[in-house]
C-alpha cells in the first residue's frame, strides 16, 4: 500500500503548476531516498496530494523535534502569517493539509500576466491564518530554538503594513516574539544569570574582561538604561500575559554562568547604524549617526565598533529595544502610516562560561525587514523613493542569496552565495550559509489589491523553503580562562563576594571623586576670594592716589587763579589811584586864584 503511494508521488503531476520563480534547471526533484519518503507519508497520509511539488514538501511539517534527516532538519523554516482583514480575499486559500497556500486569479483585474493568473501552490512549514495569535506563533517559530539552545536568525519578511513589526514586537498587550523570547531566555537561565559583565564578544571573539573594563561596561549600561523610557508597569503587564500564555521552564543550576548582551542595528539606505549609542557628553552637540563597517574575519562576521549592552533582566533588554526603536527611521507611506524604512536587527547574545573553562555562545537575531513594496502603490517620491529602491535592492540580493543557497547542492560547480552584495546579507551570512538556523516569517495581507505583490513575496518564500543546509553549528570556544575559572569555581558565594567587592570599590572610588571635587571647589572659592580682595585693594589705592593728585591739581589751580585775581585787582587799584590823583590835581588847580585867567599880552 505504501509502495503504491510512493509510486504515485514519484509520477509528478503536470496539472499542478510549479513555482515560476524557480529556475527549471535547478528545480527541486523529489528525493529518491525512500526511507525519508516513507516516514513522511505516514505523517501526511492522504492530504499529501494537496501539497506543493517542491522538495520541501517531503520534510516533516508542523511540530519540531522529529529526527527525519539531519540535513533536511537544518533547512530554513518558512512560516506564513496572514494578517486579519475585514473582508479576506477569495484569491488565497489554505489547503486541507494546512501548510500549502493556493492562489489563483481567474480575471485580469488583479494580475498583469498569464503566469500570475494560474493556480499556484506555495508550501510552508506552517501557515497561520488570521485567527492565530502571538502565542502560537512564538511556540512554533521561536520557542523550540530557545529550549534547544540553538543559534537562530528569525526574519520577518512581507509587504509594507502586513504585520512584520507586529509579529516581532507586538503591542502593549499582545507581546510579539521578541518580548516573549527575552522572557523565555531569562526564565530559562534564571539560576545561571551572572550579574557582572565578565565575558564579552569583542569582534566575534569571546573575551574575558579585566575588572576596570567590567566597571566601564557597567557604567555604560547604567547610562544607557537611564536614557530608556520607563517600562516597569508595562513590562509587568507583558510579563503576566507571557507567563499566562506559556509555561517556560527553568534550567537546573548547572556549573555554568550565563551573561546576556544585546545590540541593535539599523540598515538604512545601505548604511549600518548603531541604535544603542550613548549621546555626546556635551548637551549642545547633536548626536551624529556613525556609519559602521561590517567585517568578515576568518568566517566570523561582526560589526566593528557596535555597542553591545550587558543586560541582567528581560525588562532591561526590552527597555533597550524600545530605546533603539525610538531611533529607527520610520515614515508614513500610502500603505502604512508608520512604516519602517530600514531593516533592523536586534541581537541577543547568550554567553556561557562552563566551570570546565569552556565558553559557548548562542546568538538570537531578530530581523525586521523593511516592507517590500511597489513604488507606485506606496506613493513614494524623493527620499522615500531612494529608501524604497535601496530596500528593494537589498531584498533582491537576499532573494539571490537564498536562490544560490537552494541550488548549491544540486549543481556540481555550485553558485557562490552573493551575500557580499548587500549589507543585510553580509550581516546575516551565518544563517544564509547554514551555520545558524534560519526561520522566516512571511507576512501577507490577504486582500485582492495586493495579489501580485503577495505572489512575489510567496515566490521568495518558496525559494527559501527549498534550501538544504549542512549540519547546524553552535559556536563553541574551547579556550580555558584560568582567571575566570579559578574565580568561578568557588561558586555563587564567591560571585557575590566579588560583586560586592566591585561595588564597594565603586562606592569608595565615587567617594574619592566626590572628595576631590569638593577640594577643588573649595580651593577655587578661596582663590576667588583672595583675588577679589587683591583687586579691591588695588582699586582703592588707585582711587586714593587719583583723588590726591586731583586735589593737588585743584589747589594749584586755585592758587594760580588767586594770584591772577590779586594781580588784576592791584592793577585796577593802581589805575583808579592814578585817576584819583589826576582828578585831585585838577581840583587843586581849579581852586587856586586866577587860575582860570590867562593873561595874554598883546603887546
Interacting stretch for ligand ATP, rule CB under 6 A, among 104-112, 163-171, 215-223, 259-267? 163-171
Among 167, 454, 169, CA closest to 335 = 454
CA distance 77 to 137: 13
> Is 21 annotated as contributing to ligand binding?
no
Among positions 8, 34, 45, 84, the unique one binding ligand ATP when judged by CB under 6 A? 84
What does DSSP assign to residue 253? -
Among positions 160, 257, 325, 425, the unique one binding ligand ATP when judged by CB under 6 A? 160
Residue 434 CB contacts under 8 Å (≥ 6 apart), including other chains: 74, 405, 467, 469, 470, 472
Q: How far is the CB of 448 from ligand ATP (least distance, A)?
A: 18
Q: Confirm or reject binding of residue 44 to ligand ATP (CB under 6 A).
A: no
Name beta bridge partners: 268: 271
Closer to ligand ATP by CB, 370 or 424: give it: 370
Angle (nearest 5°) at CA 310 between 360 and 356 = 30
CA distance 574 to 541: 49
Interacting stretch for ligand ATP, rule CB under 6 A, among 41-49, 160-168, 268-276, 410-418? 160-168
- Residue 120, classified by CB atoms within 10 Å of its CB into exposed (0-12), middle (13-18) or buried (19+), is buried
CA distance 322 to 169: 10
Closer to ligand ATP by CB, 162 or 462: give it: 162
> Is 158 annotated as contributing to ligand binding?
yes
Residue 160 near residue 371, CB atoms below 8 Å: yes
Among positions 153, 162, 187, 429, the unique one binding ligand ATP when judged by CB under 6 A? 162
> Is 542 annotated as contributing to ligand binding?
no
Closer to ligand ATP by CB, 187 or 336: give it: 336
Q: How far is the CB of 144 from ligand ATP (least distance, A)?
A: 21
Q: How far is the CB of 339 from ligand ATP (least distance, A)?
A: 3
Question: Looking only at residues 278 through 297 of this chain, which bind ligand ATP when binding is defined by CB under 6 A?
Answer: none
> Is 133 annotated as contributing to ligand binding?
no
> Is 491 annotated as contributing to ligand binding?
no
Question: Looking only at residues 14 through 33 of this chain, which bind ligand ATP when binding is defined by CB under 6 A?
Answer: none
Interacting stretch for ligand ATP, rule CB under 6 A, among 177-185, 195-203, 338-346, 508-516? 338-346
Q: How far is the CB of 454 from ligand ATP (least distance, A)?
A: 13
Cβ of 312: how many Cβ atoms within 10 Å? 18
Residue 476 CB contacts under 8 Å (≥ 6 apart), including other chains: 358, 359, 360, 361
Closer to ligand ATP by CB, 333 or 488: give it: 333
**Helix, strand, coil percentages in the chain from 3-state DSSP, rounded to 5:** 45, 20, 35
Determine the size of the site formed for ligand ATP (CB under 6 A).
17
φ and ψ of 514, to 5 deg: -60, -45
Q: How far is the CB of 314 from ligand ATP (least distance, A)?
A: 21
> Is 161 annotated as contributing to ligand binding?
yes
Q: How far is the CB of 464 from ligand ATP (least distance, A)?
A: 17
Q: Confirm or reject binding of residue 165 to ligand ATP (CB under 6 A).
A: yes
Among positions 166, 225, 269, 452, the unique one binding ligand ATP when judged by CB under 6 A? 166
Q: How far is the CB of 79 from ligand ATP (least distance, A)?
A: 13
Residue 415 near residue 407, CB atoms below 8 Å: yes
Among positions 54, 153, 339, 407, the unique one binding ligand ATP when judged by CB under 6 A? 339
> 12 vs 3, 47, 223, CA distance in Å?
16, 16, 62
Q: How far is the CB of 424 from ligand ATP (least distance, A)?
A: 14
Interacting stretch for ligand ATP, rule CB under 6 A, among 147-155, 335-343, 501-509, 591-599? 335-343
Q: Confirm or reject binding of residue 161 to ligand ATP (CB under 6 A).
A: yes
Q: Alpha helix locations (H) across 30-82?
A: 34-44, 70-73
Helix (H, G, I), strand (E, B) or coil at 354: strand
- Residue 246, classified by CB atoms within 10 Å of its CB into exposed (0-12), middle (13-18) or buried (19+), is middle
Q: How far is the CB of 301 from ligand ATP (least distance, A)?
A: 25
Interacting stretch for ligand ATP, rule CB under 6 A, among 332-340, 412-420, 422-430, 576-584? 332-340
Question: Looking only at residues 391 through 450 of this chain, which bind ligand ATP when binding is defined by CB under 6 A?
Answer: 443
**Residue carrying C-alpha cell 519518503:** 37
Closer to ligand ATP by CB, 27 or 374: give it: 374
> Is 200 annotated as contributing to ligand binding?
no
> Is 54 annotated as contributing to ligand binding?
no
Closer to ligand ATP by CB, 58 or 138: give it: 138
- Residue 259, classified by CB atoms within 10 Å of its CB into exposed (0-12), middle (13-18) or buried (19+), is buried
Q: How far is the CB of 381 from ligand ATP (least distance, A)?
A: 17
Closer to ligand ATP by CB, 37 or 330: give it: 330
CA distance 124 to 462: 8
What does DSSP assign to residue 438? E
Question: Looking only at residues 211 through 230 of this chain, which bind ligand ATP when binding is defined by CB under 6 A?
Answer: none
Q: Confirm or reject binding of residue 164 to ligand ATP (CB under 6 A).
A: yes
Q: Which helix (H) or strand (E) holds 321?
A: helix 314-326
Question: Looking only at residues 369 through 388 of this chain, which bind ligand ATP when binding is defined by CB under 6 A?
Answer: 370-371
> 403 vs 28, 434, 585, CA distance in Å?
12, 13, 146
Q: Confirm or reject binding of residue 336 to ligand ATP (CB under 6 A).
A: yes
Q: Alpha helix locations (H) across 142-297?
A: 143-147, 164-169, 177-188, 211-227, 232-245
For residue 67 the three cell numbers come to: 529526527
Among 173, 181, 168, 164, CA closest to 83 = 164
- In the annotated binding site for ATP, the residues are 158-165
Residues that bind ligand ATP (CB under 6 A): 83-84, 158, 160-166, 336, 338-340, 370-371, 443
Amino acid at each position: 500500500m505504501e509502495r503504491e503511494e510512493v509510486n504515485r508521488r514519484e509520477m509528478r503531476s503536470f496539472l499542478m503548476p510549479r513555482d515560476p520563480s524557480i529556475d527549471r534547471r535547478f528545480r527541486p526533484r523529489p528525493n529518491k531516498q525512500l526511507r525519508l519518503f516513507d516516514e513522511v507519508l505516514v505523517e501526511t497520509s492522504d492530504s499529501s496530494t494537496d501539497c506543493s511539488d517542491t522538495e520541501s514538501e517531503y520534510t516533516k511539517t508542523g511540530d519540531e523535534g522529529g529526527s527525519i534527516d539531519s540535513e533536511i532538519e537544518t533547512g530554513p523554516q518558512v512560516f506564513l502569517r496572514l494578517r486579519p482583514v475585514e473582508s479576506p480575499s477569495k484569491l488565497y486559500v489554505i489547503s486541507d493539509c494546512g501548510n500549502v497556500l493556493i492562489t489563483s486569479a481567474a480575471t485580469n483585474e488583479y494580475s498583469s500576466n498569464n503566469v500570475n493568473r494560474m493556480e499556484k501552490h506555495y508550501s510552508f512549514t506552517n501557515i497561520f491564518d488570521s485567527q492565530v495569535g502571538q502565542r502560537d506563533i512564538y511556540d512554533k517559530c521561536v520557542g523550540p530554538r530557545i529550549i534547544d539552545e540553538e543559534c537562530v536568525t528569525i526574519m520577518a519578511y512581507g509587504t509594507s503594513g502586513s504585520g512584520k513589526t507586529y509579529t516581532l514586537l507586538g503591542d502593549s498587550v499582545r507581546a510579539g516574539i521578541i518580548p516573549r523570547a527575552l522572557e523565555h531566555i531569562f526564565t530559562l537561565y534564571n539560576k545561571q544569570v551572572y550579574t557582572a559583565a565578565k565575558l564579552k564578544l569583542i569582534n566575534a571573539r569571546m573575551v574575558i574582561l579585566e575588572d576596570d573594563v567590567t566597571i566601564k561596561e557597567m557604567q555604560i549600561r547604567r547610562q544607557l538604561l537611564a536614557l530608556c523610557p520607563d517600562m516597569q508597569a508595562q513590562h509587568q503587564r507583558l510579563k503576566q500575559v507571557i507567563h499566562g500564555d506559556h509555561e517556560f521552564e527553568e534550567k537546573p543550576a548547572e556549573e555554568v554562568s550565563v551573561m546576556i548582551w544585546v545590540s541593535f542595528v539599523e540598515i538604512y539606505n545601505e548604511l549600518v547604524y548603531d541604535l544603542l549609542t550613548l549621546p555626546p557628553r556635551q548637551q549642545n552637540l547633536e548626536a551624529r549617526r556613525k556609519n559602521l563597517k561590517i567585517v568578515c574575519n576568518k568566517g566570523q562576521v561582526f560589526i566593528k565598533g557596535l555597542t553591545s549592552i550587558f543586560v541582567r533582566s528581560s525588562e532591561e533588554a526590552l527597555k533597550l529595544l524600545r530605546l533603539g526603536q525610538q531611533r529607527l527611521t520610520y515614515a508614513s507611506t500610502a500603505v502604512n502610516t508608520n512604516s519602517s524604512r530600514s531593516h533592523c536587527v536586534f541581537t541577543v547574545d547568550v554567553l556561557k562560561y562552563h566551570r570546565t573553562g569552556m565558553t559557548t555562545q548562542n546568538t538570537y537575531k531578530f530581523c525586521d525587514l523593511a516592507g517590500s513594496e511597489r513604488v507606485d502603490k506606496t506613493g513614494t517620491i524623493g527620499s522615500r523613493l531612494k529608501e524604497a529602491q535601496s530596500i528593494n535592492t537589498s531584498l533582491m540580493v537576499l532573494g539571490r542569496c537564498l536562490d544560490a543557497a537552494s541550488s548549491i547542492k544540486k549543481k556540481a560547480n555550485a553558485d557562490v552565495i552573493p551575500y557580499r552584495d548587500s549589507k543585510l546579507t553580509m550581516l546575516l551570512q551565518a544563517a544564509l550559509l547554514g551555520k545558524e538556523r534560519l526561520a522566516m516569517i512571511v507576512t501577507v495581507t490577504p486582500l485582492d489589491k495586493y495579489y501580485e505583490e503577495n505572489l512575489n513575496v510567496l515566490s521568495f518564500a518558496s525559494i527559501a523553503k527549498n534550501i538544504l543546509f549542512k549540519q547546524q553549528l553552535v559556536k563553541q570556544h574551547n579556550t580555558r580562562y584560568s582567571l575566570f575559572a579559578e574565580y568561578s569555581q568557588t561558586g555563587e558565594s564567591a560571585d557575590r563576594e566579588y560583586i560586592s567587592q566591585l561595588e564597594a570599590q565603586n562606592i569608595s572610588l565615587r567617594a574619592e571623586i566626590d572628595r576631590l571635587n569638593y577640594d577643588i571647589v573649595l580651593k577655587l572659592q578661596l582663590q576667588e576670594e583672595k583675588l577679589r580682595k587683591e583687586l579691591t585693594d588695588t582699586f582703592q589705592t588707585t582711587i586714593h592716589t587719583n583723588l590726591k593728585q586731583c586735589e593737588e591739581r585743584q589747589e594749584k589751580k586755585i592758587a594760580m587763579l588767586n594770584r591772577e585775581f590779586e594781580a588784576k585787582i592791584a592793577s585796577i587799584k593802581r589805575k583808579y589811584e592814578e585817576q584819583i590823583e589826576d582828578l585831585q590835581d585838577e581840583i587843586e588847580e581849579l581852586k587856586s586864584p586866577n587860575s582860570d585867567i590867562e593873561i595874554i599880552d598883546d603887546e
